[in-house]
Amino acid sequence: MRLNKFISESGACSRREADKLIGQGRVSINGAPAVLGTQVGETDAICIDGVALGEKKRPIYIALNKPMGITCTTDLRIEGNIVEFVNYPERIFPIGRLDKDSEGLILLTNNGDIVNGILRAEHNHEKEYIVELDRPVTDIAINIMSSGVRILGVTTKSCTITKINQRTLRMVLTQGLNRQIRRMCSSLGYQVRRLQRVRIMNIHLGQMGVGKWRLLTEAEIKGLSRPALAKLRR
């Protein structure tokens, strides 16, 4: 098994984070510094910063209704970080991000292997948002944003936008650019007053209160990323 996969399956971090740790010289195998791409077996002693990794942990999947003001980071030095907010007894990390000034559904896990399967844009996984603007939105603006607008040097993918009322939209995106919805609206002269994510793929926020979290059901886990999960079970 590749070293970064072994580390992610231990629940220590994602594969990408594992590669960073290896590159920084913080990972050792049987007492020797690890190298990117190394293959390891069950008898190898893997350490991060001198601390041995334990056995492979059971996968954890959490749905959180993130309040505004909470930052989606595992950096415990940042006040209001999502890890300390959830206060789960085992190490977990967020899948993707939700801006500090946004609220709603975000998933957390200790399973680094599933992250890319959910986040990669080419998989076209849907995320649904309720967006409240500072003024009434026109049908022309909705059509323009639905077709794609230029932000961050790229044109956004087409998306589905429906009007809930004069100032509130339901937006379904398959893309996750930095502050994408706020930038899309701003490009047409609108400011977002409230942004709430209500769905990630087959996972719905439902009636879960702000700041509350729950474990995903088996049915929800299976629907998250069938290809990724199938790979894990081989």
**pLDDT tens, position by position, 198-220:** 999 999 999 999 999 999 999 99
pLDDT in tens, 25-81: 999 999 899 999 999 987 888 999 888 886 566 789 999 999 999 999 988 899 999
pLDDT in the model for residue 123: 66
The full set of domains in the chain, from first to last, is 3-52 (3.10.290.10), 61-120+203-232 (3.30.70.580), 126-200 (3.30.70.1560)
Catalytic residues: 99
- Core vs surface per residue 182-216: b (16+ CB within 10 A) or e: bbbbeeeebebeebbbbbbbebebeeeeeeebeeb
Torsion of CA 150, 107, 191, 188, to 10 degrees: 20
Is a pLDDT exceeding 60 seen at residue 232?
A: no
pLDDT in tens, 90-140: 889 999 899 999 999 999 998 877 776 676 655 678 999 999 999 999 999
Residue 182 sits at the vertex; the CA angle it makes with 178 and 186, to the nearest 5 degrees, is: 125
Give the whole-angstrom CA distance, residue 74 versus residue 82. 7
Give the whole-angstrom CA distance, residue 147 versus residue 114. 30
Q: Kindly report the pTM of this predicted structure.
A: 0.75
